[in-house]
Amino acid sequence: MFLYPQQLTTDNAIGDGRVVLCFEYDGRKFHGWQQQKSGVRSVEAELTKAVAKVADHPVELVSAGRTDTGVHASYQVAHFETTSIRNLRSWVMGINTALPFDIAVHWAGNSTEDFHARFSATYRRYRYIIYNNQVRPGIQRGQVSWTFRELNAARMHEAAQALVGEHDFSAFRAAGCQSRTPVRFLEQIKVTRTGDFVVIDVQANAFVHHMVRNIAGALIAVGTGKQSASWIRAILEGRDRTQAGVTAPSDGLYLVDVGYPGNFGIPAAECGPGFVRPWFSRAENTPVDPTHIHQKRKPMQVS
């Protein structure tokens, strides 16, 4: 999970302030990150209960981003406030003991009072994994997306480069997106093939709702030959979601990295998920320093 190993030490005191967690989860049986009034299963609800049990008081978690139903995370970050003090091993092992098996915390640590899991993040990175075979996956069902139509990964990669830079991503934005602006800075996007698997690796300062899945859906249309490589630029400039093709399934989408300034002390990710990591070099799994940083302002507190 981490670029450099993190030992679960006991000779430290973590707590009495803002504590940060790094964790992973298998999204197949969750209705996304966010806790919902209906009581359906969510990552936030399960993790909040476990953290509160170890902290011995109610907590409120703030995550780096809200993943949708079925979306996975090999590296996610959240923070909470606590008056309790535990060592690193006690926080990590204690929380994991109280968690279901499809969530695992890997690190806990104190950060400064001005750290915010969402607003301090300078970028997010996702990988979308497609199993490209005539026969659907069995064991990896829900862990990868699938299309039986042959994909040309080189053509997909070529087309995707039109998305790099700062753009209005309205064409790739879900109708229900609550973001104030569709403008985002896409740092990089790569499409590669290893055997029967095609991976879309994309990093941006932030993403609008369903942006990665909508990009994946459009690139799949290019990869199958249904659309030309130039179509991606055309729909980007057209800013019309209805002309941009289908939304790819949540299966196969992973949040693999969230970046923060070094002064916050958050351990850097080695981008996953684990089963695809060997397909890439260490450099390709290493965080990419952003060239465009736009940090959102934290909401003003009313006294």
- Active-site residues: which are they? 68
The rounded distance, in Å, linking the Cα atoms of 74 and 199 is 15
The rounded distance, in Å, linking the Cα atoms of 110 and 88 is 10
- Which tokens is 191 given? 């499409």
Cβ atoms of 71 and 253 closer than 8 Å: yes
- What are the distances in angstroms from CA 221 to CA 59, 194, 214, 294? 44, 19, 11, 32
126 marked ligand binding residue = yes
Q: 211-223 and 153-160 are packed helices; what angle lies between their axes, rounded to 10 degrees?
A: 130
Cβ atoms of 34 and 66 closer than 8 Å: yes
The rounded distance, in Å, linking the Cα atoms of 276 and 198 is 10
Residues recorded for the chain: 303
Q: Which residue has the tokens 């060997």?
A: 278
- Residues contacting 210, CB < 8 A, separation 6+: 68, 172, 173, 174, 177, 247
- Residues contacting 78, CB < 8 A, separation 6+: 20, 21, 23, 47, 61, 62, 63, 64, 117
Cβ atoms of 221 and 149 closer than 8 Å: no
Q: Annotated binding site, which residues?
A: 126
Q: Annotated binding site for substrate, which residues?
A: 126
